[in-house]
């Protein structure tokens, strides 16, 4: 049976809930309609999240993104709605959604929204040397 647009986000159990790890998605063909002109708006959506107990299933995410194709929405509103829907479905420890909207009227727009689970503290980032660079301990 062919796919079709859907607002349903399917989830599955996190296979490693004891560990913080990053899930990174890029959605280069997101489309919705300008609520004022009805013309299409296009964006690259970048989704980064640290799962807690569940993850989002990719086919349902694709169909969810597709469901906005014929809906009118301001950039800020649709970006926040997508974050709310995703965090409501999977309840991650952390999620960041960056929406890079392609040029319209000579203006590029980027909207960045975040969610953090109450009490979650990220681990300190690991600083690795650049290729060919000696580690700090050898300088």
* Rounded average pLDDT over 112-128: 91
**Sequence-ordered list of residues with C-beta below 8 angstroms from that of 116, at least 6 positions apart, any chain:** 93, 94
Question: What tokens appear for 49 in the block?
Answer: 């999240």
Measured in degrees and rounded to the nearest 5, phi and psi for residue 91 equal: 50, 60
**Average pLDDT score over the chain:** 93
Domains with residue ranges and CATH for the chain: 20-118 (3.30.1130.10)
Instruction: Please compute the mean of the pLDDT values over residues 129-133 and round it to a whole number.
Output: 82
What contacts 77, CB < 8 A, 6 or more positions away? none
CA 41 to CA 35: how far, in whole Å?
10
- pLDDT range class, residue 1, cuts 50, 70, 90: low
Residues tagged active-site: 34, 41
Query: What is the tens place of the pLDDT at every residue in 76-104?
Result: 999 999 999 999 999 999 999 999 999 98
Q: How confident is the model at residue 131 (pLDDT cuts 50, 70, 90)?
A: confident
Q: What is the pLDDT of residues 23-35, one digit of tens each?
A: 999 999 999 999 9
| pLDDT, tens digit, 9 for 90 and up, residues 68-77 | 999 999 999 9
Q: What pLDDT is attached to residue 135?
A: 65
Q: Which pLDDT does position 128 carry in this prediction?
A: 83
Cβ atoms of residues 47 and 86 within 8 Å: yes
């Amino acid at each position: 049976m062919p796919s079709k647009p859907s607002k349903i986000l399917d989830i599955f159990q996190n296979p490693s809930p004891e560990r913080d790890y990053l899930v990174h998605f890029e959605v280069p063909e997101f489309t919705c309609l300008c609520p004022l002109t009805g013309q299409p708006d296009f964006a690259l959506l970048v989704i980064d999240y640290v799962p807690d107990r569940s993850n989002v299933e990719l086919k349902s995410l694709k169909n969810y993104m597709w469901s906005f194709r014929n809906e009118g929405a301001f950039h800020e509103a649709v970006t926040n709605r997508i974050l709310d829907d995703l965090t409501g479905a999977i309840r991650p420890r952390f999620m960041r959604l960056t929406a890079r909207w392609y040029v319209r009227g000579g203006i590029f727009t980027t909207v960045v929204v975040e969610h953090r689970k109450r009490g979650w503290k990220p681990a300190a980032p690991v600083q690795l040397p650049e290729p060919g660079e000696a580690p700090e301990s050898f300088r």
